[in-house]
Amino acid sequence: MARCECCGKTTTFGHNRSFSQRATNRIFRPNLQKISVYDKGRKVQMVVCARCMRTMVKVS
């Protein structure tokens, strides 16, 4: 579910860094939104990231 249907962006992993530079695991999740889009004349629901939503608005 945590995948953009347009660009394929998924969850990535990294580290929290405290003041003492101790590394603890953390998760970076994409900003996914469920939107309705017209695809070939039909209304389709897609799960896309915010960046792809902005690109769709610019293109159309």
Q: pTM of this prediction?
A: 0.78
Contact 29, 45 (CB under 8 A): no
Q: Which residues fall within 8 angstroms of residue 11, CB to CB, at 6 or more apart?
A: 2, 27, 28, 29, 30
Sign of the Cα torsion 20, 23, 25, 26 reads positive
pLDDT at 16: 98
- Residue 50 has phi, psi (to 5 degrees) of -60, -35
Q: pLDDT for 1-47, tens place per residue?
A: 689 999 999 999 999 999 999 999 999 999 999 999 998 999 999 99
**Radius of gyration, alpha carbons of the chain:** 16
